[in-house]
Amino acid sequence: MTTKIDVSLGHIQKTLFLPLWGRAMESKKPHPLLIDDLAVKIIDSVNFDFSLMSKNLDDIIQIAWIKRSLICDQIINKFLSHNPKGTIINIGCGLDTTFERIDNGYLTWYDLDLPDVIELRRKFIKESVRRKFIASSFLEKAW
């Protein structure tokens, strides 16, 4: 049995699991609208009780998260079709996996979130020359 990664986040930061869980559950369906293998991997790897989400969140909310992801992917892909080397700043990134779905091999991507979220993010997602993490509040001017 694999050891699960403990999660130490504030109450607000824990909401990052909502859209992640929605994408993972959609990905496990027989005919998913969106496939997010990294979301499934993360959900399966963290020591977090997802049973409340399963009990209290209905299919409509899950579909809303999926639709939001699909719309954002479309908007970003349209931008990249005109600006292939464009720069994207993902403010409040949580455990978002959009980069994995839309990377064209040329774009520059910045993921911005609070330090504890970025610390957790680094356990699952790697930085690269074109993808950087910024551990800061979006309210701070320094970033």
The reported pLDDT for the residue numbered 56 is: 65
Assigned domain for 3 exists: no
Those residues whose C-beta lies under 8 Å from the C-beta of residue 19, and which sit 6 or more positions away, are 65, 68, 69, 94, 96
Polymer length of the chain: 143
In a domain, 14, yes or no: yes
Task: Read off the CATH number of the domain in which 53 is found.
Answer: 3.40.50.150
pTM: 0.85
36 is a domain residue? yes
**Residue 14 near residue 95 (C-beta atoms within 8 A):** no
Give the rounded percent of residues in the chain with a pLDDT score beyond 70.
Answer: 95
Res. 138 pLDDT band, cuts 50 70 90: confident
pLDDT, average across residues 13-40:
89
- Domain ranges, residue 15: 10-135
Would you say residue 141 lies in a domain? Answer: no
Going by C-alpha positions, the residue among 96, 78, 76 that lies closest to residue 36 is 96
Angstrom CA distances, 52 to 40, 49, 137, stand at 17, 7, 28
In a domain, residue 93? The reply is: yes
User: What is the structure's pLDDT at 142?
Assistant: 73
pLDDT tens digits, one per residue of 40-51: 999 999 888 787
More confident residue, 118 or 49: 118
Spatial separation of the C-alpha atoms in residues 13 and 121, rounded to whole Å: 12
For the chain, the domain total comes to 1
Does residue 52 lie in a domain region?
yes
Cα gap 134→136, rounded to integer Å: 6
Tell me whether residue 140 is in a domain: no
pLDDT in tens, 63-94: 888 999 999 999 999 999 999 999 999 999 99
5 domain-assigned: no
